[in-house]
Structure formats: structure tokens, C-alpha cells
Homo-oligomer: A and B are copies of this chain.
Amino acid sequence: MMKYNFKDDYSEGCHPHILEMLSRTNFEQQDAYGDDKYSRKAKQIIKEKLRHKPADIFFVSGGTQANLIIISSILKPHESVIAAHTGHVNTYEAGAIEATGHKINAIESLDGKINPENIQTVLDKHNIIPHMVKPKMVYISNSTEIGSIYKKSELLALSEFCQNNNLFLFMDGARLGTALSAKENDLSLSDIAKLTDVFYIGGTKNGALIGEAIVISNKKLQEDFGYQLKQKGALLSKGRLLGIQFLELFKDDLFFDLAQHANQMALKLVQDIQNLGYTFLIKPETNQIFPVFPNKLINRLEKKYGFHIWKKTDQNHSAIRLVTSWATKETAINEFLLDLEKIAKT
């Protein structure tokens, strides 16, 4: 028997509409390297949603690829990027950013987010010129690597601080869908386009096979960006594969529907788990939740379900990570909750 997997949001393939569109257009001859009509159309539709004229859009395959290309294309050799210590660039990218030559100034963060005060501390520590790196970019993730989200007021504060301090603001949106579909979210794609210099919209974790749409709002950062894609091996000859996916995701707002589904499935878990009297390591906001369970309970759940054990919280308890997605079946959620209730009562 296969375990049902709550490990991540990329265990399944993609939304069926995408496969249908790939099939329907398969034998059309299209221009290569992103000049196909689907990529052009997808970019146009996304641009309309951004309501930010200067924005330009580039498709790449994945998040680490997006991060390393964006950062290395913007920073000069002596410039560094500020990030939460939990930031993807600082942890699970095998040194991708440093491999392009740049230091990451990591900030300890409990909720995966950073704020102007944190950043000021880093700036204050880097005032011995020219002996230290020069922090020049702020990297944030929304939703963060531990499921939290930025509120509009927080992003406004960051944006203003960055402008006042000559810093570029970059939002990793590998999980932007669930952030923008979260119950407490008050940000729109358009807000983000206006408040950041560059961000990306993650397809891979929200119903695409592969694909992130990089949005460069700051015109100065757009020049020659295509070269960076090519140089880092990110310019797909069959760019249609990315264009078709983003067209399907955005032409009828499927992107938001899918993210909302993921969040709803998580919310259902959260409510029942709370009703059973359990707490969470981090306040649940999106599709990654971290309930704290007795170890014995975890052991029994593990026999039927796949998930990561995140952290010991005391001798007898641990937090686990449950991730829902666009593909999570409500029946699976129900079954999990029934099982949880049963185990909890014994």
C-alpha cells in the first residue's frame, strides 16, 4: 500500500488543462526560445493583471534557477543579498547564490519574515568600507518557507525602506499563489509589481509541471536579462512548454483557484487539529502547516501518511510538516482526519 503523501506540493503532475493544451498545440510549429505565440500571450495576460506598465516577464523552469539568475544579474561582485536565515537561497540551494559570487547576509527569523529593523542591523554592521561586502538587495519569500505571509503594510514598509537605502527588493514567489489566496492576505499581484523591483510567480508548486514567471518591475534591471537566462542554461528552446502552462494558469485565473484549493485543504486540517486540542509550531496561514503531536501519535500516522518530521519540541512531542496542494483530494484530508481522531483518542 502506498502512503498518501503530504510531504510537498509537487508530488503530482500538473493540472489537466495544461496537458490538454500541450496536446492540442503539439504539432504546431512555433518559434523557439520563448518567441512562440503562447509565451507572448501568457506574458500579455499576466502583464494586464500586474497593472504596472514598466514590468517585463521572463519564464524559467524552477525556483533555484530563478533565484540565482535574478541575483547574479543584478548584483555587482562586491554586493550581497540580505535574507532570512530560513530563506530558500540560504538553505536548500546548495550554495547556488554563492556560486555566482555573492554573499548572503542571513538574519535570524522566527516566522520566516524580515523587516526594516532587521535590515538596518545588517547595514549597520557593514559600515567598514571597503573591507566588507556591500548589502544591496533584500530577498524575501511570500509565502515564506514556513508558510507565513507578508501583509501589505509589511511590504510597504520594506519597499520604502529599500528605496530610502538604495536596496533592491526581490520577492521569491515560488509559493506566491498560496500567499495571495490566504485568508489574511491583503496583497494583489499588482501591489507586488509596484512594491518590489523583481519577483516571480511560482508555477511548479501550484499546478504546473515546471515553470516560474519572473516579473522585473524596475526597468533598469531588465536590460540584457535574456543573456542571463541563456548563460545560466535556463532558456528553453521549446519555450512553448512554459508559455502554454502560464497561459492555462492565468487566462481564467486557474492559478488562484488552485492555490485557494490548497489553502482550503490546509485550513480544514488546521481546524480539526485545533479542535482535537493540538497546537501549531508556527501560526498556520497557507498550505504548509506545522502541528505539534505526541511522538507516539506521529509514529502511528507515519504508517499510512508521508510527511516530514520538522522539529522536536520537547521530550515527547514534535512538530510535523503537512503540505497540501492544488492536487490534494478532499477525501484524503477526510481520511487523514478520521485516522488522526482515532489515534488521538486511543
Chain A residues with a Cβ under 8 A of chain B: 2, 4-5, 7-8, 10-14, 16, 19, 22-23, 25-32, 60-62, 64-69, 72-73, 76-78, 80, 91-96, 98-104, 128-134, 204-205, 209-210, 224, 226-238, 240-241, 327
Contacts and interface: CB of A to CB of B under 8 A. Distances in A.
B13 A22 contact: yes
A129 B33 CA distance: 11
Given A32-B11, A78-B228, A92 B132 contact: yes
A237 B4 contact: no
Please indicate which of the listed interface residues A69, A95, A98, A327 has the most CB atoms of chain B within 10 Å of its own CB: A95
Nearest to A240: B13
A241 B62 CA distance: 13
A210 B241 CA distance: 8
A203 to B, nearest CB: 11
Please indicate which of the listed interface residues A10, A66, A204, A232 has the most CB atoms of chain B within 10 Å of its own CB: A232
B93 A131 contact: yes
A293 B183 CA distance: 54
Contacts of A101: 95, 98-101
A237 B131 contact: no
A224 B99 contact: no
Please indicate which of the listed interface residues A32, A98, A231 has the most CB atoms of chain B within 10 Å of its own CB: A231
A230 B93 contact: yes
B26 A130 contact: no
Contacts of A210: 61, 236, 238, 241
Contact of A25 (B13, B66, B240): B13
Contacts of A236: 61-62, 210
Nearest to A7: B32
Given A29-B2, A95-B80, A209-B238, A134 B62 contact: no
Contact of A235 (B64, B224, B231): B64
A105 to B, nearest CB: 10
Contacts of A98: 80, 98, 101-103, 133
A164 B132 CA distance: 34
A89 to B, nearest CB: 11
A28 B4 CA distance: 10
The 4 closest A-B pairs by CB, nearest first: A65-B233, A78-B227, A130-B226, A13-B26
A26 B80 CA distance: 38
Contacts of A100: 77, 101
30 contacts: A2-B29, A8-B237, A11-B29, A12-B26, A13-B27, A19-B19, A19-B26, A27-B327, A60-B233, A65-B234, A73-B77, A77-B100, A77-B228, A78-B94, A78-B95, A78-B230, A91-B132, A92-B131, A94-B230, A94-B231, A95-B102, A96-B230, A99-B231, A101-B101, A129-B227, A130-B227, A130-B229, A204-B237, A232-B232, A233-B233
B77 A99 contact: yes
A151 to B, nearest CB: 28
Contacts of A229: 130
A62 B233 contact: yes
Given A230-B96, A231-B95, A233-B64, A238 B204 contact: yes
Given A8-B32, A14-B26, A103-B104, 18 more contacts: A4-B29, A7-B32, A10-B237, A11-B32, A12-B30, A13-B25, A19-B19, A23-B23, A60-B233, A65-B233, A72-B77, A73-B76, A78-B95, A78-B230, A78-B231, A95-B103, A129-B226, A209-B241
